[in-house]
Amino acid sequence: MDRSPFMAAAGLVLFALAVYFFVPPVAPADGLPAASSDPLPAPQTRLPRSLGEMQLSFAPVVKRVAPAVVNVYSRSVVQAPVNPFFGDPFFQQFFGNPQMRQRVQQSLGSGVIVRADGVILTNDHVIRGGQDITVALADKREFKAKVLLADPHTDLAVLKIDTHGEKLPTIEFGDSDRVETGDLVLAVGDPFGVGQTVTMGIVSALARTNVTDGNYSYFIQTDAAINPGNSGGALVTSDGRLIGINTAIFSRTGDYAGIGFAIPSNLARRVVEGALGGGVKLPWIGADGQPVTQDIARSLGLPKPGGVLLKSVYPDGPAARAGLRTGDVVFSADGTEVDDIEALNYRVATHKAGDVVKLRVGQRGQARDIAVRLELPPENPPRDLTTIGGRNPLTGAQVENLSPAVASDLQMSLMAKGVVVASPGDSIAAGQGFQPGDIIMSVNGQAIRDVGQLKRALDGAGGHWDMIIDRGGQRMTLSVDG
């Protein structure tokens, strides 16, 4: 056998090793320092030391919390046209009111047992309009449920089932204010009705606002998979405490896209306490505001954006009596930073009327601490709920004077004023397109301040009505002859 190729290869290897160990490194031509020869720190990992460590799992937490998560079925009977085309107002002009039939409408969601005697927390939108609500436990038993409270302001509802004295498993409330971005969380619910499902993720963000309509839009964001049917289910920490009620997702298709939202447990606990104690009566602070942007911060002499710039303060309200004025900036409430009015309203909502909230407030670089004693929104002026009669564009609608209490009921800005449509009913007003929450600004150029003035303006219009309506901050005009 010819060994010459083998010997040649071995010689090359020995030459390369000699160069590596004995030839000094050449300094870089550009004068930069040579790379450090210090070894990189070892990664903080290690092999499992036992079979138990190889089997680490969230299973013990799931076994503890899963029995306290239930399915909620809501069934309602609605009226629908026999022929859907005849439900269109255009066809009704020629054929009159369509023949109607009853149709059963069902919705599916989840819920959390928060008291062993059968008190269950879920979303208001899960049971909204439901006439027959059934709760199915994890062990497949089913119970009829009654609604103790349905609160559209917070999108939470509290149910009660009769356990005949049996103590049910519960999930302990955690402190949602102690949750941090990056914490591990589990979402438990019944997506798509396939059966109870557990998903894992992290807290992606905190204090998400403007996710849904309403004054208390303030959410924990998570990437734990949440899908239709998960609404009302539990978001729990890695040690099994309830820190949120899964409520909404961000998706362009309706399916999970990595962004889900949960109502914080501190607000949910407040709603449960209210349901068991005579109803939820959320306090208010008596002020409205906007986020402090970079431009606003610069104009106010603030070092950076952040906080809520008060743009209106209700006369003789809690904020006004505490010394707050238009132009003040609220930086924090009870030590927690707030960046918009929804965040401030949430902090207030976790308290009860009569409690004191501590605000950090500044103006032109001067910061101070203010204690505000909270109150319930007042009904001032009196609402004067009235059904509009006669023949005019608002015939059949219920209208009322706006006050902080009425605005709270209708989930509007608590600083809104004027006359608002409470319900258009099944009437001429509905046919003209009026919706609950529409504010009647003027009729034929006359500003409308109260219900009595609105009635006089409608009756004296002489068969022609030019109206300006405010809908969610957008001005709309309506011109009707009749």
Tell me the pLDDT tens digit for each residue of 116-132.
Answer: 999 999 999 898 887 78
Neighbouring CB atoms inside 10 A of 175's CB total 13
Average pLDDT, the chain: 81
CATH architecture of 176-276: Beta Barrel (2.40)
Class for the domain spanning 287-373:
mainly beta
Mean pLDDT computed over 193-212 = 82
What single letter denotes the amino acid at residue 439? Answer: I
Determine contact, residues 404/284, Cβ cutoff 8 Å. yes
Mean pLDDT computed over 50-73 = 85
pLDDT at residue 21 is higher than 50: no
Burial 341-354 (b: 16+ CB within 10 A, else e): bbbbbbbbbbbeee
Fold matches, 64-161 and 176-276: yes
Beta strands in 193-317 (DSSP E): 197-209, 218-222, 234-237, 242-249, 260-264, 287-291, 308-313
User: Which entry of 124, 125, 190, 403 is annotated as an active-site residue?
Assistant: 125
Residue 64 has phi, psi (to 5 degrees) of -80, -40
Specify the pLDDT at position 160.
Answer: 95
Domain limits, the chain: 64-161, 176-276, 287-373, 386-481
Specify the pLDDT at position 120.
Answer: 95
316 phi-psi bin (left φ>0, alpha ψ -120 to 50, beta other): left
Rounded Cα–Cα distance for residues 472 and 346 (Å): 20
User: Which entry of 74, 124, 155, 351 is annotated as an active-site residue?
Assistant: 155
Place of tokens 């949602």: 176
Specify the pLDDT at position 412.
Answer: 79
Specify the pLDDT at position 96.
Answer: 53
Determine contact, residues 471/478, Cβ cutoff 8 Å. no
172 alpha-carbon distance from chain centroid:
21
Going by pLDDT thresholds of 50, 70 and 90, the confidence category of residue 91 is: very low
User: Which entry of 74, 217, 231, 408 is annotated as an active-site residue?
Assistant: 231
| pTM more than 0.75 | no
Place of tokens 């798509």: 192
395-449 pLDDT tens trace: 999 999 999 888 887 777 777 888 999 888 888 888 888 988 899 999 999 999 9
Which CATH code is given to the segment(s) 64-161? Answer: 2.40.10.10
**155 is annotated as an active-site residue:** yes
CATH architecture of 386-481: Roll (2.30)
133-186 pLDDT tens trace: 999 999 889 999 999 998 888 889 999 999 999 999 999 999 998 989 998 999
**231 is annotated as an active-site residue:** yes
